[in-house]
Homo-oligomer: A and B are copies of this chain.
Amino acid sequence: VAPFANLPSMNNLFFQAKARKGLSFEAIAKHLGKDEVWVAAAFYGQAKFTEEELKKLSDLLGVSSSSAVAQIGDNWFPYRGTLVEFPPRDPVIYRLFEGISVYGTAIKAIINEKFGDGIMSLIDCKVTIDKKENPKGDRVILTFDGKFLPYAKW
């Protein structure tokens, strides 16, 4: 579909094979020994598989591992950040945006008060999603676990 038209063709093969095999990201992630959010990110070209991971994945999905390595192996680096338009309009992604729009300055204030002048890294950062069951409606627990980086002075 449209927002994903810019992915390397290998990634589209991965998506089709995943659908054909009826595999969830959770199942694939378990097979690779990785987290499902990270694996989904890599499917969308936002993270980089090692050669070994590419092979394991290709075997699982039944696609050519040599093509995978040739196209998105060592030689390739993710060109991140181009999938989501801003403001995003898909309601699922928009809500994340709304989270920053409404709570972003509060988050900055608390990070600065708790840690000093610096940022939460999104490079050394892990993103996870958990499902907390709740009779009034299940809850999505979305967590960013990122290293604090203090500003250099010179």
A: which residues have CB within 8 A of B?
1-8, 19, 22, 24-26, 34-38, 40-41, 43-48, 70, 75-115, 117-129, 131-132, 134, 136-154
Given B41, B75, B100, B132, which contacts A103 in the complex, CB threshold below 8 Å? B41
Closest residue on chain B to residue A97 by CB atoms? B100
A80 to chain B, nearest CB (A): 5
Q: Are A106 and B75 in contact, CB atoms less than 8 angstroms apart?
A: no
Q: Are B113 and A140 in contact, CB atoms less than 8 angstroms apart?
A: no
A12 to chain B, nearest CB (A): 12
Q: Are A149 and B121 in contact, CB atoms less than 8 angstroms apart?
A: yes
Closest residue on chain B to residue A70 by CB atoms? B19
Question: What number of copies of this chain does the assembly contain?
Answer: 10
Listed residue (A70, A80, A100, A103) with the most chain B CB atoms within 10 angstroms of its CB: A103
Closest residue on chain B to residue A22 by CB atoms? B75
A103 cross-chain contacts in B, Cβ below 8 A: 37, 41, 46, 127
Which 6 residue pairs spanning A and B have beta carbons closest together? A81-B89, A2-B6, A40-B106, A120-B140, A126-B154, A41-B106
**What's the dominant secondary structure at chain A's contact region?**
mixed
A96 cross-chain contacts in B, Cβ below 8 A: 99-100, 104, 107, 120, 122, 144
